[in-house]
A and B are shown apart, each in its own frame.
Chain A
Amino acid sequence: MTLWRPDPSFYPSARMAMDAPPERVAYVAALNYGRNDRPDEIRVVDVDPSSAGYGQVLTSLALSHSGDELHHFGWSACSSALCPNAPHPHLERRYLVVPGIRSSRIYIIDTKPDPRKPSIVKVIEPEEVFARTGYSRPHTVHCGPDAIYVSALGAAPGRGTGDGGPGGIFLLDHYSFEVLGPWELDRGDQHLAYDFWWHYGHDIMITSEWGVPRQFENGAVPDDLLGNRYGHRLHVWDLRRRRHLQTIDLGAEHQMVLELRPAHDPTKQYGFAGVVISTADLSGSVWTWYRDNGTFKAKKTITIPAEPADEGVLPPALKPFTAVPPLISDIDLSLDDRFLYVSCWGTGELKQYDVSDPFSPKQVGSIHIGGIVRRTPHGDSGPLNGGPQMVEISRDGRRVYFTNSLYSSWDEQFYPDGLAGWMVKADVSPNGGMTLDRRFFLASGDTRPHQVRLEGGDASTDTFCFPS
C-alpha cells in the first residue's frame, strides 16, 4: 500500500517515540515445545490495561510448518526509514519478519488491517536463504533505512569452513522481502555470530559472538564451555563500506557475548553487551563499549556473582559447581538511554540499572521470579521455573514485559523438570524501581514464550537519526 504521509509510528527522535501513545498489543514468539507435529505460533497478547482481556492471548497465528523454533524476530520497517541518507518515509511498520532459528525458514507476517489478527503473507524457504546468502540459522532482525538486516548464526549446509561457521549478516528487501545476499564485503577475523546493531549516525556496526550451530543446537557443550571455546569477542564494522574494522576481545573466560544495546541517541558512541557466564567464577557481566580516539574499547561495568547452592537442587550440568550462575541471557536499554535491564535467567532475577553514567551503572530495581533454585512465584501462582529472559521495554519506559524460555535444548539442561512458559509485566517508576503487575501473569505451559515485540515499536527495534 502507498502511504501519503509517513507511517505515524516512525519517529525522528527517541524522545518523540517516548511521547507517543502506549502499545495496545504485544506479539510474542511462542515455541510449541514437545509436540513436534504442531507448529510454533506468533501470539497476540492484550496489553491494554483498560481492556477486559488484559494480560491474555487475543489470537494465535500458527505457522505453516512445524519444527521452526521461533526465537527472535523484528519489524520490517521502523523509524530508521526517516534517516536522511536513505529515506523511505512511506514504508509501513506493518510486517513482522519471523525467522525459525532451527529450520532457517523466514515468515513474513502482516499485522494489518487488524493488529489483533496477523496473517502470513510470505514464507522464505530455508533453501532460498542458504542459496542466496551462504548462511543458516537466522536470528536478530533489524530494520535499516535501506533494507532489513538479519544476523545468521551458521553457514549454509555445505558452505563455510566446515565447522558450521562462519555466521554473519544478510539483507532482505524491505518491499518485496526478497533475499538480497550476504552483507559483508570483508569479515576480517570474525567467524562466530549472534547479535548486531549499530551507531547509525556514525556508520558503525557492532556484532557479538555465541557459537557455531553444533555448540548450541543440542544444548550447551560443557567441554566447549570449560575450554573457553564459545565466543568472547565484539566486532566493530564500517557499516557503510561493509568492512570489519576491529576486534575487541573481552577475555577468553567471558563466554558467550550475546545481546548488544547501543545508545539510542545517534550522537553517542557507546553501548552495552551482555556476557552469559565467566568460566573463572560463574559470574555474568555487562560491558560498556565506547569510542576513544577513533578506536573502540570495552570495559566491564556490571558483574553479577553466582549464588552458592545445594548440589541436590541443581540440574546435573551445574552440580559440580555447587552454585547457580546468573546466566545473563538478555539486556535491554530504555529509549532515553537511562535504564538498563539485565535478565538473570539462572538465578531468576530481573535487575534494573541506572546507566546515566554508562561507566558506572547503579542498581535501582530488582524483581525475583522463577530461578533454578528460588522458584519464586508470581502472586499466588505457586513455584515457577524458568527465569526472566527476553525483556522488552515500552517506548515510554514505564512498562517492561518479559518471558522465561531461552532455547529449547538449553531449557532442558537448566530446567530439566520441564520449563513451563510464562510472560509477565512490571511497572517502572519514573526514577527507577519496578514492581510486578499482579494483573499480568500469562502462563502458557508447554508453549514457551520467547521474544516480545510491541505494537508501534519498542526499545530494541527503532533506529533514530535525530537526537532528542
Chain B
Amino acid sequence: MAAFGAFHGLNPGMGWLFALALGFQRRSERAIALALIPISAGHAVSVALVAGAILALGTRVSPRGLQIASACALLVFGAYKLRAFSRHPRWVGMQVNVLDLAWWSFLMATAHGAGLMIAPMLTTLSDAPHPAAIPLTLAVAVHTTSMLAVMALVAWIVYKKLGVAVLRTSWVNFDLIWAVALLIVGTVALL
C-alpha cells in the first residue's frame, strides 16, 4: 500500500511538479508545501471512493468475488491505458487555489485508476468475511501519507539541489509504466 503511494508520489505528473512550479511562480518555498496538502487530499478522496465501493459491495459479494471483479476491472482499464496512456482529462490552469488543486489531483488519480489499482489488495485487508471500515481507512491513510512524503521529498530535492533541469533527463514515461503496472496487478490478483 505504501509502495503504491510512493510510486504515485514520484510521478511528476501526479503533483509534486505542480507544487514546485507554483513555488517558483510565487517565489515561495511555503507555496510548495501548501500545495502538496490539497493535492494529497484530492488523491485520497479518489482512492477512498474505491475503498467505499468495496465496503458497500462487501456485504453482498464474497471477498474472492470482489477480488476477481476488481482484477477484471483493472485488466480492462490497463488495456485501455496501454493504448491511450498519454491521454489525460483537461486540467485546470496555472492560477489555482486549494480547491482547484484538490480537484485537479482527484481527476488525475481517478483518470489513472489510482484507487482501482489498490482495490484487489483492499479486498484482502480484513480477516472477517466482509471488508471492514477501519482497515480500509487505515490503508487509504497509509497510501496517502506515503505519497505525500515522497512528493515532499522529491519537490524539496529538486527545489534545493537539482533544479528543474532534472526534468529533461529524469522524467521517464510514468504513464506507460503505470499502464503496464495496472495489467500486472490485475493479473496477479486474478491468479
Question: Restricting to B158-173, which residues have a CB under 8 Å from any CB of A?
Answer: 164-165, 167-173
Interface size on B, residues (CB 8 A): 30
Tell me whether A12 and B165 are in contact in the complex, defined as CB-CB below 8 angstroms, given that A4-B172, A267-B25 are known contacts.
Answer: yes
Question: Restricting to B73-121, which residues have a CB under 8 Å from any CB of A?
Answer: 86, 88, 90-96, 104
In the assembled complex, how far is the CB of residue B76 from the closest CB belonging to chain A, in whole angstroms?
21
In the assembled complex, how far is the CB of residue A76 from the closest CB belonging to chain B, in whole angstroms?
14
| B contact residues around A200 at 8 Å (CB) | 94
CA of A85 to CA of B108, assembled, Å: 10
Does any Cβ of B come within 8 Å of A418's Cβ?
Answer: no
Does any Cβ of A come within 8 Å of B29's Cβ?
Answer: no
Out of B13, B25, B92, B164, name the residue touching A12 (CB < 8 Å): B164
Out of A12, A16, A82, A90, name the residue touching B173 (CB < 8 Å): A90
Q: Are A89 and B92 in contact (CB under 8 A)?
A: no
Q: Are A84 and B88 in contact (CB under 8 A)?
A: no
CA of A146 to CA of B91, assembled, Å: 8
CA of A89 to CA of B170, assembled, Å: 11
CA of A6 to CA of B170, assembled, Å: 8
CA of A78 to CA of B12, assembled, Å: 18
| B contact residues around A12 at 8 Å (CB) | 164-165, 167-168
CA of A85 to CA of B24, assembled, Å: 14
Binary flags per residue of B1-44, CB closer than 8 Å to A gives 1, else 0: 00000000000110001101100110100000000000000000
| A contact residues around B169 at 8 Å (CB) | 5
Tell me whether A4 and B13 are in contact in the complex, defined as CB-CB below 8 angstroms, given that A86-B91, A240-B95, A466-B21 are known contacts.
Answer: no
Interface size on A, residues (CB 8 A): 34
Q: Are A87 and B168 in contact (CB under 8 A)?
A: no
| A contact residues around B96 at 8 Å (CB) | 85
Binary flags per residue of B142-185, CB closer than 8 Å to A gives 1, else 0: 00000000000000000000001101111111011000000000
Does any Cβ of B come within 8 Å of A339's Cβ?
Answer: no
CA of A57 to CA of B162, assembled, Å: 41
Q: Are A466 and B94 in contact (CB under 8 A)?
A: no
In the assembled complex, how far is the CB of residue B81 from the closest CB belonging to chain A, in whole angstroms?
13
| A contact residues around B170 at 8 Å (CB) | 5
Binary flags per residue of A326-362, CB closer than 8 Å to B gives 1, else 0: 0000000000000000000000000000000000000
Q: Are A4 and B173 in contact (CB under 8 A)?
A: yes
Tell me whether A203 and B21 are in contact in the complex, defined as CB-CB below 8 angstroms, given that A4-B173, A5-B169, A12-B168 are known contacts.
Answer: no
CA of A83 to CA of B88, assembled, Å: 14
CA of A55 to CA of B165, assembled, Å: 33
Q: Are A85 and B93 in contact (CB under 8 A)?
A: yes
CA of A85 to CA of B88, assembled, Å: 11
CA of A465 to CA of B93, assembled, Å: 12
| B contact residues around A84 at 8 Å (CB) | 12-13, 17-18, 20-21
The 4 closest A-B pairs by CB, nearest first: A240-B93, A203-B93, A12-B164, A84-B18
Q: 20 other contacts beyond A200-B94, A202-B95, A465-B94, with CB at 8 A cut-off?
A: A2-B173, A3-B173, A5-B168, A5-B173, A6-B167, A12-B165, A84-B12, A84-B20, A84-B21, A85-B94, A85-B96, A87-B13, A90-B86, A202-B94, A240-B92, A240-B94, A267-B25, A267-B27, A466-B24, A466-B164
List, sorted by A's number, 30 A–B pairs whose CB atoms are closer than 8 Å.
Answer: A4-B176, A5-B168, A5-B173, A6-B171, A11-B168, A12-B167, A16-B165, A16-B168, A83-B21, A83-B94, A84-B12, A84-B18, A84-B21, A85-B94, A86-B91, A87-B12, A89-B167, A89-B171, A90-B86, A90-B176, A146-B90, A146-B91, A175-B86, A200-B94, A203-B93, A203-B95, A239-B93, A240-B92, A240-B95, A467-B25
